[in-house]
């Protein structure tokens, strides 16, 4: 009788593909960001857009305000002149994006996220998609619903409603891109979400105040380029047929330039994180 050591074999472990891991990051991040405060901000923003669009596209109201003129595409641009709406957008960006990266750095879960086969790009796409989806709900759905409602009740023609929806979608996507990029960038600079949130809100509000002060001193509208909010407003207003205070093309270039630089710096920052292989 021969005694030999037992032979154990372990089958190879099948890892989930990268796209499934990214999907988990997106779903987990989205669930975290649909908290009570963010839902309240989204609802308030939807109310502002819905009420203003429906009111300012009502034929009787438009006839009264424009001395008998018909409803035009420019009547849909009212939300982008609304200070409460822009303030809510800034607050939502700070609330939804503050912990996107900073929270993971604080509890070191980022080292697990970045373990193979997740790459830095996968991680940022997942985090950015989670924040972007929340912002998309805020910027896109209310405008789409308000235009559709205005058509259903007979305030505007089908063609005008479709054109307005297109303007809301294009301007909304640009805002989602910029605010998401800004949130990820500032969140990657600290390990404390509260600091990231304060930075997001502070940068946007400070830039707006500075732009208005410089404009008041110099009497030049070119100073408004200093504020990303004013740049986004200029692009949105031009899409709705309203002549903005600054050039829409240049303003779009400023916003896209900031987004590209912010994305590159965020990628380089996250790549410096030590990962567990």
In a domain, 49, yes or no: yes
- Assess contact for 229 and 253: CB atoms under 8 A: no
Range of the domain at 195: 18-271
Token pair belonging to 183: 């949130």
List Cβ neighbours of 226 (8 Å cut-off, separation of 6 or more).
207, 210, 211, 214
In a domain, 7, yes or no: no
Q: Residue 34: name the closest of 97, 126, 96 by CA.
A: 96
In a domain, 8, yes or no: no
In a domain, 87, yes or no: yes
Predicted confidence at residue 277, as pLDDT, reads 47
In a domain, 5, yes or no: no
Predicted confidence at residue 185, as pLDDT, reads 96
In a domain, 242, yes or no: yes
Rounded to whole angstroms, the Cα distance separating 70 from 79 reads: 19
**Length of the chain, in residues:** 277
Helix (H, G, I), strand (E, B) or coil at 156: coil
DSSP state of 270: H
Predicted confidence at residue 214, as pLDDT, reads 94
In a domain, 10, yes or no: no
- Assess contact for 195 and 94: CB atoms under 8 A: no
Tens-level pLDDT at each residue, the chain (277 residues): 566 666 666 666 566 777 788 888 889 888 888 888 889 999 999 998 888 888 888 877 666 665 556 788 888 888 887 667 888 899 999 999 999 999 888 888 888 777 767 888 889 999 999 999 999 999 999 999 999 998 988 888 899 999 999 999 999 999 999 999 999 999 999 889 999 999 999 999 999 999 999 999 999 899 999 999 999 999 999 999 998 989 999 999 999 999 999 999 999 999 887 554 4
Which residue is associated with the tokens 């004013």?
230
pTM: 0.88
Instruction: Count the domains in the chain.
Output: 1
In a domain, 9, yes or no: no
């Amino acid at each position: 009788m021969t005694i030999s050591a037992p032979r154990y074999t372990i089958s190879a472990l099948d890892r989930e593909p990268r796209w499934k891991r990214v999907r988990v990051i997106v779903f987990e991040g989205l669930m975290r960001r649909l908290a009570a405060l963010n839902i309240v901000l989204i609802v308030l923003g939807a109310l502002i857009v819905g009420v203003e669009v429906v009111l300012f596209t009502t034929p009787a109201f438009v006839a009264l305000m424009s001395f008998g003129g018909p409803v035009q595409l420019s009547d849909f641009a009212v939300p982008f002149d609304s200070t409460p709406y822009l303030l809510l957008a800034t607050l939502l960006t700070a609330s939804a994006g503050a912990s996107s990266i900073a929270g993971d750095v604080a509890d070191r879960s980022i080292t697990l996220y970045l373990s193979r086969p997740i790459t830095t790009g996968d991680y940022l796409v997942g985090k950015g998609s989670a924040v972007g989806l929340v912002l998309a709900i805020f910027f896109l759905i209310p405008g789409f619903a308000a235009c559709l409602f205005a058509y259903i009740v007979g305030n505007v023609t089908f063609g005008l409603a479709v054109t307005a929806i297109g303007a809301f979608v294009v301007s909304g996507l640009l805002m989602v891109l910029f605010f998401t990029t800004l949130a990820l960038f500032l969140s990657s600079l600290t390990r404390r979400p509260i600091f990231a949130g304060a930075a997001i809100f502070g940068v946007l509000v400070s830039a707006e105040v500075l732009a208005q002060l410089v404009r008041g001193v110099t009497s030049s509208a070119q100073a408004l380029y200093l504020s990303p909010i004013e740049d986004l407003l200029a692009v949105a207003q031009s899409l709705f047929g309203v002549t903005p205070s600054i050039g829409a093309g240049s303003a779009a270039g400023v916003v896209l330039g900031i987004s590209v630089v912010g994305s590159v710096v965020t990628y380089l920052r996250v790549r410096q994180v030590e990962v567990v292989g």
